[in-house]
Structure 1
């Protein structure tokens, strides 16, 4: 297996928009190795925060959430959360995904819920009072994050441009 490039090259490839899988293919590595190096370099700080939020809501070991992370609604949710956290490294496509997610939540007056047993596990469901301003239906009995992580879950008062 070929070694990954120097950190400066890896950073440039990632910032240019190359996926972990594409970088891995270029160097004969695994996407997990690419991601691990980018995390170690501190370049995945926002993705780690988003994963932490979603793991708190729907632990992969209990819900199987990891089997459904390739679906568009999940990706858009992740983009929205990164956007709300102020991730400066988002691509134009990721920002569009974040805005699309926000627009859908507003237009439908809904929240995203995760129902792994359903045919479509990421469902937009009608907003209820207990949802507050959150963009997801927070599972009962799960502790909410605090601070900026909690704030990232809220729909902004005004649509973001």
Structure 2
């Protein structure tokens, strides 16, 4: 892998990165193509503000809360519970996870299997709350007013179904 200072030179221009994303490549695929980590690609995309200006990433499109314009977006996205949820969805979408992401997913699933779901609360941000019957197999508390659609399948813990 390239050293941190070399990443800007290893990755293509901002325009080329946008073209690769538009062509359907994800961060992991771009990282492999240029011999850097997925995190390096993500950091670069955040640095050039691709995610703020462009469409939502496939993972963000599955998560029922839009925090892209939230005033505390950085704090929220750094919470271990949110990282665990993102990793969980990325894994279900077939993406390869880093070792850190795998640890986040394990911790996330431990809480889910202890009878909790993840919710976005005013104040603390993401928090685990006790599962209710209305949550079904979901790993999150679905927000009121947000229609349930096909993305809910990626947010179900099918292994939990087997435990019942």
* Larger RCO, structure (CA 8 Å, separation 6 or more): 1
Fold agreement, TM-score > 0.5 = yes
Describe the SS at the equivalent of 1:123: strand
TM-score, normalised via structure 2 length:
0.65
Unaligned 5+ residue runs, structure 2? 1-7, 17-29
Matched, 1:60 2:64: no
Q: 1:83 is matched with which residue: 82, 91, 95?
A: 91
Counterpart among 145, 152, 155 of residue 153 in structure 1: 155
User: CA shift at 1:3, angstroms?
Assistant: 6.0
Gaps of 5+ in 1: 25-29, 41-46
- Alignment check: 8 A CA contact 1:58 1:65 kept: no
The answer to whether residue 76 in structure 2 is matched with residue 72 in structure 1 is no
Distance, in Å, in 1 between the alignment partners of 2:72 and 2:138 is: 19
Deviation of residue 122 (structure 1)?
1.0
Matches within 5 A, 1:1-161: 5-6=11-12, 11-15=34-38, 18=40, 20-21=42-43, 24=44, 31-33=46-48, 36=50, 48-54=57-63, 57-60=64-67, 64=71, 66-67=73-74, 68-87=76-95, 89-107=96-114, 109-115=115-121, 117-118=122-123, 120-146=124-150, 149-157=151-159
CA separation of 1:63/1:13 partners in 2, compared to 1, >3 Å: closer, same or farther? closer
CA RMSD in angstroms, aligned pairs only: 3.3
Q: What SS class does the counterpart of residue 98 from structure 1 fall into? A: helix
Provide the aligned length of Structure 1 versus Structure 2: 133
